[in-house]
Chain A
Amino acid sequence: MENLKQDASKLGEEIGMKLNQTASSWSPMIKDLVDKLTGKDMKVTYDFQDLHIDIPQATGPDGKEIGSAKWKINGKFKISTEVKNKVATIE
């Protein structure tokens, strides 16, 4: 029983580490995208059409199974940016 608890805790840690690694590699990309949009005064529409992401169950380094994931994305995502003049005009 104690072994089972330890195994479960170790598996939880492994999944947590994997999630952290994935999140840290995606965050610079999202930052870049926002940087590129900032101050451009434009409207970008991302239209997801029946996008399925289906990550299968994988086997970790110790032969442990790591959980699978399924996402389905449908719909539009809009980002608008507007340039506002912060400098007040002096008459």
Chain B
Amino acid sequence: MSDNNELNNDEDNAIANSLAKFMKFSSGKINVRINNKPTLSLDFQRKTKRVLMDVKDASIFGMSDPSDDNLGLFEKLKAAKIIAQIFDENDITFSILRKGKKAISLGKEANPKLSRVITGSDDIQIDSIRQTAKLGRDIQKSQ
């Protein structure tokens, strides 16, 4: 691994750590609308240390330049594992919903059974294979 990659990983970890701390001490909601269309909502539940991110319109993921996304599946999974571990260390459960329905949970309360075989992580739980697959398709379509 090059020094640059190591530096980027350290920076990414520091950002993930800052985000986890921000989540830990926050309560309330942030709704994001793009061109007046509900796109994303974040619900910070401080008492239960849960953060729910509801993806209402996956086109938000299509906003990034595809040339930036040069990570393979293995690297993406590795990054997800690290982020999930950082959430776990900060006692946070981060759930991703698709149009109000739970798809994946990362961190503290993730209790994977079958999904451990797929992700190889104790901190990532696939709540609904159906919703996760749909979310994946939505994101692919948007790119």
Contact = CB atoms under 8 A, between A and B. Distances in A.
Contact of A47 (B14, B25, B27, B33): B33
Interface string A52-76: 1111100000000000000001000
B28 A48 contact: yes
Contacts of B44: 51
A31 interface: no
Kindly state the interface size class of chain B when it binds its partner.
Answer: 20 to 34
A52 B28 CA distance: 6
Interface of A is mostly: strand
Nearest to A68: B25
Contact of A49 (B30, B33, B46): B30
Kindly state the interface size class of chain A when it binds its partner.
Answer: 20 to 34
A55 B25 contact: yes
A6 interface: no
A22 B18 contact: yes
Nearest to A29: B15
Interface of B: 11, 14-15, 18, 22, 25-36, 44, 46, 63-64
